[in-house]
Chain A
Amino acid sequence: MNMKSQLLGLSSAVVMALAATGAQAGKLEDVLARGKLIVGTGSTNAPWHFKGADDTLQGFDVDVAKIIAKALFADPEKIEFVNQASDARIPNITTGKVDITCQFMTVTGERAQQVNFTVPYYREGVGLMLKEGGSYADYAALKAAGSSVTIAVLQNVYAEELVHKALPEATVDQYDAVDLIYQALESGRADAAATDQSSIAWYITQNPGKYKDAGYGWSPQTYACAVGRGDPDWLNFVNTALHEAMTGVEFDTYAASFKKWFGKDLPPPAIGFPVEFQ
Chain B
Amino acid sequence: MESPTILELIWSARWPILYGLGTTVLISALAIAGGTVIGVGLGLVLAYGNLAWRFAGRLYTDFVRGTPVFVLVLASYYILTTIGLDLSPFQAGVLALTVFCSSHVGEITRGALQTIPRGQTEAAKAIGLGFGQTFRYVLAPQALRLGLPAWINTAAEMVKASTLLSVIGVAELLLRTQEVISRAFHSLEFYLLAGALYFAINYAIERFGSYVERRVATD
Interface residues on chain B, size class = 20 to 34
- A/B pair count, beta carbons within 8 Å: 79
Known: A85-B168, A177-B187. A7 touches B182 (CB 8 A): no
Asked if A83 lies at the interface with its beta carbon under 8 angstroms from chain B, I say yes
Main SS class of interface, A? mixed
Chain B residue with the shortest CB-CB distance to A59 = B182
Interface residues of B in 82-107 (CB under 8 A from A): 82, 89
Given A82-B169, A179-B187: A95 and B78 interface contact (C-beta under 8 Å): yes
- In the complex, A170 Cα to B216 Cα: how many Å? 66
A97 to B166, CA, bound (A): 16
Within 8 Å of chain B (Cβ to Cβ): is A11? yes
The residue in chain B whose Cβ has the minimal distance to the Cβ of A97 is: B81
User: Which chain B residue has the least Cβ–Cβ distance from A83?
Assistant: B169
Nearest chain A residue, comparing its CB with the CB of B166: A85
Quote the shortest CB–CB distance from A259 to chain B (angstroms). Answer: 20
A4 to B168, CA, bound (A): 12
Q: Indicate if B30 sits at the interface (CB-CB under 8 A).
A: no
Stretch at the interface among A38-46, A106-114, A155-163, A266-274: A38-46
Distance of A46 Cα from B185 Cα, bound (Å): 10
CB contacts (< 8 Å) of B74 on chain A: these are 7-8, 11, 91
Whether A85 and B167, one on each chain, are in contact in the complex, defined by CB atoms closer than 8 angstroms, is yes
Q: Give the residues in chain B near A88, CB-CB below 8 Å.
A: 167-169
Binary per-residue interface labels of chain B (155-199) against chain A in the complex, 1 for a CB within 8 Å, 0 otherwise: 000000000001111010001001111110111100000000000
Which residues of A come within 8 Å of B, CB atoms?
4, 7-8, 11-12, 14-15, 18-19, 43-46, 50-53, 55, 82-85, 87-88, 91, 95-97, 177-180, 182, 207-208
7 residue pairs, one from A and one from B, having the closest CB atoms: A83-B169, A179-B185, A177-B187, A18-B82, A44-B178, A85-B167, A44-B182
